A and B are shown apart, each in its own frame.
Chain A
Amino acid sequence: MPTRFSFLASRLSQTVLVLWVVATLLFLIFRLMPGNPLVAYIDPNFTAEVQQALLRQFGLDQPLHVQYAVFLSNLVRGEFGRSFFSREPVSQVMWQVLPNTLVLTLSALLLAYAVGVVGGALLAARRGTWAEAWGIPAVLATRAAPEFWVGMLALAVFSFTLNWFPSSGATSPGSAYSTWWAQVASWDFLRHLTLPALTLALYLQGLPTLLMRSTMLEVMDEDFITFCRMRGLPERTILLRHAARNALLPVVTAFALGIGYSIGGNVIIETVFSWPGLGRTLVRAVAAKDYPVAQAAFFLIAVVMIVMNFVADLLYSLLDPRVSHERQ
């Protein structure tokens, strides 16, 4: 379908444009910050020649527009330079932490939205009963509880007291796996994942639960639901096939956007549970003024967010036949 294709093409070009703006902003922010980026790195006892050599090595002696051109061309090739500290290529650092963050975020989000969609639909179906009277405050409480506090409680109870789960990291020290997939599928990794993922899911489920409930209540008042009742369709069919299916639309959008938000917002959970992910790396890089790493982390967060926005649009058009991309 040519119209479908042109929609995709136009949305993709918009996405690329936004990414370029984000990259440019990131480039400028790190250059405009006070102090030489290398201040933290260059020992004042170095001779002027050594300092110059180091600046040249990182390309910081070039005029700004040349630096910018180099930055963009590197970006296109997925190169973010080298860390000021570990001297490792930044892309390698990112490849080590990004998958961990994605696994944590996706598993927590999937759990939160699965529980939230079902829970929200049930809360709506049980309107005015004790389930609602207790359910809504419980959901609000878990949503309002600070993540770091819940995380610390979880660690204190399930890790330090009961000793059910390890307290930090993604794998036990000394463990080695042939591939990344083997690691993710390993029992050890899952045990490490459980607490941070559950804590994050507990925090995230508030939004889908309440959103699902309120949309569901709205949909239940629609004429087509009354028409289902008139036709004598089974209550389960009405609730699941018709009401929940329609109420799902905004929740799906929230889910895709939620991926973007939580990748950036995982800083707290990753820090509390010492999860070797993007958020923790970002915090450390900023604290240590490791600008190449911080730049790459910010950029990746922006990429995930923008891509997820795009995915949300696509999902919506799949779920709702009324959203047609064929007009514009």
Chain B
Amino acid sequence: MPLLEIENLTVQYHTLHGAVQAVRGVTLSIERGRALGLVGESGCGKTTLARALINVLARNAAITGGAVRFDGVDLLQLSGGALNDYRWRRIGLVPQAAMDSLDPVYRVGDQLVETMRLRGGLTPAQARERAARLFALVGLEPTRLRLYPHELSGGMKQRVVIAMALALQPKLVIADEPVTALDVIVQHQVLRTMRELQETLSLSLLLITHDISVVADLCDDVAVMYAGRIVETGSVREVFAAPQHPYTMGLRNAFPSLRASSARLVPIEGYPPDLASPPNGCAFAPRCPFAVQRCWGDDPVLMPTGGGRLAACHRAMEADVLRIQAPQAFARLEATGSQAVEGGAPGGGIP
């Protein structure tokens, strides 16, 4: 049994313009001791998904359906108090805004100690001792426990927040864009620390990022998210070597490759759909160079494609061919700004 199973989870934001479906039926699982990378562009629902897992959402957001099973227990069925017991003791979270996640008026060590005393039931002396060990673990000198957040650099604050996430020895750590705000050298250091911790503490890790190179560096498995849905999952090696969803192919073209940097970067033309009124068909169809008639009316579901991989694309079976055409197809789309239609899609035409 996987450690965490997300099943058909939906989350809505209530806005002045009606309900916005930020997460539209996500199904995903995280295996014990493995690191899963969740990639997707800004606004695709990654952060909302992460916060929904422990139900700490913005005031105007609500989970409208689905299940989140942790060790077989559906967290969404739990009462407030019982769910609170899972927060931090079993699921730790490194939030997106780690820079602003520490209370400015308390010393960082005191905040760490507070968490361990109130949630872990440690005595002050135990908590202090453990705080020093946690700091050493994330690569901070224990003397820094006495500093206030504003006296730390961004990378140090990030490490403090990671230490916080590990304070109660959770089985799962969710890290939401943990290095986005850091400069490249510090990014690398923090990521390496996270990878080491994940391996030595045999944690399960859900790493959320828009940077596929971070996933390639750090994760065992990857899930690609688009417009509130998971469109492809599998092991990092397989998915990045042979993507089966056109969006993943496009993402790969849009990022500088770690090894071969000769290929030209091709952005994915267009914008994600407005999730206040999600499309009937595949959400990626308007930006997809391979969209066929069926894609516009029939929303593909995530289906096994063999070898433990899943993809939500009607043409997943032709993926090997499409992958070869992808660089040119996306480039053509970029050049013309409209789709080279196969089978005639409504709304798109050849100029």
Contacts and interface: CB of A to CB of B under 8 A. Distances in A.
A65 interface: no
Interface of A: 222-224, 226-234, 237, 241-242, 245-246, 319-322
A231 B164 contact: yes
Given A231-B87, A231-B88, A223 B101 contact: yes
A328 to B, nearest CB: 17
B119 A245 contact: no
Nearest to A220: B59
- Sorting the interface of chain B by its residue count into under 10, 10 to 19, 20 to 34 or 35 or more gives 20 to 34
Given A228-B103, A319-B105, 9 more contacts: A224-B102, A226-B101, A230-B51, A231-B164, A233-B119, A246-B104, A246-B105, A322-B104, A322-B150
Contacts of B56: 226, 229-230
A319 B106 CA distance: 10
A232 B100 contact: no
Nearest to B164: A231
B84 interface: yes
Given A321-B148, A321-B150, A231 B105 contact: no
A232 B89 contact: yes
12 contacts: A222-B100, A223-B95, A226-B95, A227-B101, A230-B88, A232-B85, A232-B89, A245-B103, A246-B105, A319-B105, A320-B105, A321-B105
A319 B105 CA distance: 8
B54 interface: yes
Interface centre among B93, B102, B105, B164 (most CB of A within 10 A): B105
A20 B39 CA distance: 66
A242 B100 CA distance: 13
Nearest to B59: A221
A321 B101 contact: no
Contacts, number: 61
B97 interface: yes
A228 B104 CA distance: 13
Contacts of A320: 104-105
A222 B56 CA distance: 14
B118 A233 contact: yes
A230 B95 contact: yes
A229 B54 CA distance: 10
A228 B161 CA distance: 12
B105 A234 contact: no
Contact of A231 (B100, B104, B119): B119
A73 B51 CA distance: 69
Nearest to B150: A322
B115 interface: yes
Contacts of B100: 222-224
B115 A224 contact: no
Interface centre among B51, B95, B101, B161 (most CB of A within 10 A): B101
A50 to B, nearest CB: 67
A224 B103 contact: yes
B128 to A, nearest CB: 18
A232 B84 contact: yes
A246 B103 contact: yes
Nearest to B96: A223
B104 to A, nearest CB: 6
A237 B118 contact: yes
A233 B113 CA distance: 12
A319 B103 CA distance: 13
Interface string B74-95: 0000000000110111000101
Contacts of B148: 321-322
Interface in B46-88: 51, 54, 56, 84-85, 87-88
B150 to A, nearest CB: 5
Contacts of A319: 105
Nearest to A319: B105
B164 to A, nearest CB: 7
B39 to A, nearest CB: 22
A241 B118 CA distance: 12
Contacts of A241: 114
Complex A-B, nearest 3 residue pairs according to Cβ-Cβ distance, in ascending order: A232-B87, A227-B101, A223-B100
B104 A230 contact: no
Contacts of A322: 104, 148, 150
A321 B118 contact: no
A245 B114 CA distance: 15
B290 to A, nearest CB: 40
A140 to B, nearest CB: 25
Contacts of A222: 100
Contacts of B150: 321-322
Given A230-B56, A230-B93, A224 B88 contact: no
B95 A321 contact: no
A242 B118 CA distance: 14
A117 to B, nearest CB: 16
Contacts of A233: 114-115, 118-119
Nearest to B174: A230
Contacts of B101: 223-224, 226-227
B115 A231 contact: yes
A229 B101 CA distance: 11
B232 to A, nearest CB: 28
B105 A245 contact: yes
Contacts of A234: 118
A233 B97 CA distance: 18
B113 to A, nearest CB: 12
Contacts of A237: 114, 118
B161 to A, nearest CB: 8
A321 B150 CA distance: 8
Interface in B291-326: none
Contacts of A245: 103, 105
Contacts of B114: 233, 237, 241
A51 B100 CA distance: 73
